[in-house]
Amino acid sequence: MYFYSLTRIIIHKRAEQRKDKTWAISPLPEESKPDTIKRLRLILLLLPFLPLPAFAAENVGQCFHVRQMVKTEEIRYLVDAVSQCSHEYEAVYVMVKFLDHAGKSLDDGVWAIYWCRPGRREIHEFAIPAGALGFERVVLTRVTTNAREALIGKPPL
């Protein structure tokens, strides 16, 4: 039996394959050298030029769905959300606005879901900011994966 390695060595294992009945190591002759390395080099050379499907940036605001946000106590609200995104995200930030009974804005807030995976449902209860005391409802304003945009309120440059 013959074994081929990248160093072009044949090892004769069976006694009937060895002429002198000892272990023999001999380099491959040039005419029997396989073309596999040449083929691999060609494939690696042409690989960057192959048309691959483009990874389009996914709009998290379209695929991360907040089913409901409900006031549970005077200072708390319950969130039910599900990710239907095709990618896993380290963090998804949801910006909300707290409204009083007349629809007047009291304060803004942000909550985050960390390690957001496709198909994962999230149910959490969050505390409200101090300026939203007396709120009646919570409305979604924006969903993003950019922490700067969520916490400072400015989109990235």
pLDDT tens-digit readout, 112-151: 999 989 999 999 999 999 999 999 999 999 999 988 888 8
Cβ atoms of 132 and 111 closer than 8 Å: no
pLDDT tier at 154 (50, 70, 90 boundaries)? low
Q: Is 60-152 a CATH 2.40.128 domain?
A: no
pLDDT at 65 over 50: yes
Degrees, nearest 5: CA angle 97-126-105: 15
pLDDT for 5 equals 46
Task: Provide the percentage of residues in the chain whose pLDDT is more than 70.
Answer: 69
Helices H / strands E in the chain, number of each:
3, 8
Please give the average per-residue pLDDT across 49-67, as a whole number: 74
pLDDT at 12 over 80: no
pLDDT tier at 8 (50, 70, 90 boundaries)? very low
Q: What is the 8-class DSSP label of residue 134?
A: T
In the chain, list all ranges with CATH 2.60.40: 60-152
pLDDT tier at 155 (50, 70, 90 boundaries)? low
pLDDT at 6 over 90: no
**Cα–Cα distance list, 18 to 2, 3, 33, 118, 140 (Å):** 11, 14, 20, 60, 79
More confident site: 23 or 76:
76
pLDDT tier at 100 (50, 70, 90 boundaries)? very high
